[in-house]
A = this chain, B = another copy of it.
Amino acid sequence: MEKTIAVLPGDGIGPEVTEAAVKVLQSIAMRYGHTFHLKHALIGGSAVDAHNSPLPEETVAACEASDAILLGAVGGVKWDNHPAHLRPEKGLLNIRKHFDLFANIRPVKAVPALLGSSPLKEEVAKDVDMVIVRELTGGLYFAEPKRRSEKSAVDTLVYTRREIERIVDQAFEIARGRRGKVTSVDKANVLETSKLWREVVEERKAAYPDVEVEHMLVDSAAMKLITDPRRFDVVVTENMFGDILSDEASVITGSLGMLPSASVRTDGFGLYEPVHGSAPDIAGQNKANPSAAILSVAMMLRHSFGMHSEASAIEEAVMGVLEDGYCTGDLTTAGKRTVSTETFVTKVIEEVERE
């Protein structure tokens, strides 16, 4: 197959983990006979520096001419005092909205070899295997009016039936390929938007009789993610709740540096990026964990290109390297050998070639 990928390295450790992921992608191309055309472009702080915009037109054009987007990370203290429209994260918000990437998908899976790094007791975190499905282009993030005066401020939380239907359908589809359970999280005892959300879930579930559904209030979900994370299979929720709960969930297995994410729409096009941030404190030191970026490439291959064996080959390669006892400095698990970003990638590629 021949595919074009927009590569947006971004800021901080973004460039080095993206470079690592691209190397693995090329090894897959060799091994499976694919051709990947890469279009590099700027986003975030580096784009602000070069073009005075966190999402320059050239970048949008490169993405429009591609089949998928690979993103590193954006942000850094350097741009923290910029006005809102010149902040790195605005690039992220704009690209989501521009490409209608309404479904943010984040798998959280315990890696046995890394449970020592979890803040949770091993018996609580072990065998955790869930996917958080967050609505990404609606709600408080984008709805109008959004207003400031001297004496007060307003944000607006709007959801349409159509917006809820499509994200809920995504969650049901994902649950079908897994353990068949959806937990829909809302605040239906307080919010009108949550009442509509709950109604839509109740309506849509008729189309998925093989999937079990439960409703959970967001405060209760924030507790259960910690006390009983294994109970979750697929969690679906609106944008702001999803922002909070997916970050909360990302720390329970102790392997934040391992977590990939996808932001997709229904036609297969999507943006893939690590869950972790730009970590400016360790940028350029060849010690960032490239696993999340590499596993984001695996998600891209599976989700946007339908390359299932290729995706599994990458996932197995990363797990293989960890099981062989290698890890990067972010993982503090006893008995592991800490290696550089480059060495880790070389080992992953060796595994891909060996499989």
Chain A residues packing against B (C-beta within 8 Å) = 84, 87, 89, 93, 118-121, 124, 140-141, 143, 146-148, 150-162, 187, 189-193, 195-196, 218-220, 222-223, 225-227, 240-241, 243-248, 250-252, 256
Contact = CB atoms under 8 A, between A and B. Distances in A.
Contact of A156 (B120, B154, B218, B225): B154
Contacts of A87: 189
Contact of A247 (B195, B219, B252): B219
Question: How many copies of the polypeptide does the oligomer hold?
Answer: 2
Contact of A223 (B121, B146, B248): B248
A226 B245 contact: no
Nearest to A240: B187
B248 A195 contact: no
A250 B246 CA distance: 19
Contact of A244 (B93, B151, B222): B222
Nearest to A88: B189
A119 B227 contact: yes
B222 A146 contact: no
Contact of A227 (B89, B154, B222, B251): B251
Nearest to A239: B190
29 contacts: A84-B189, A93-B190, A120-B226, A140-B190, A141-B190, A146-B191, A148-B195, A150-B161, A151-B161, A152-B159, A152-B160, A152-B196, A153-B159, A153-B195, A154-B158, A154-B192, A154-B193, A155-B191, A157-B157, A187-B243, A218-B243, A220-B247, A222-B245, A222-B248, A225-B248, A226-B252, A227-B251, A244-B244, A248-B248
Nearest to A142: B190
A259 to B, nearest CB: 12
A148 B192 contact: yes
Given A140-B190, A222-B244, 9 more contacts: A119-B227, A121-B121, A152-B158, A152-B159, A156-B156, A218-B244, A222-B245, A223-B256, A226-B226
Given A158-B153, A219-B243, A192 B147 contact: yes
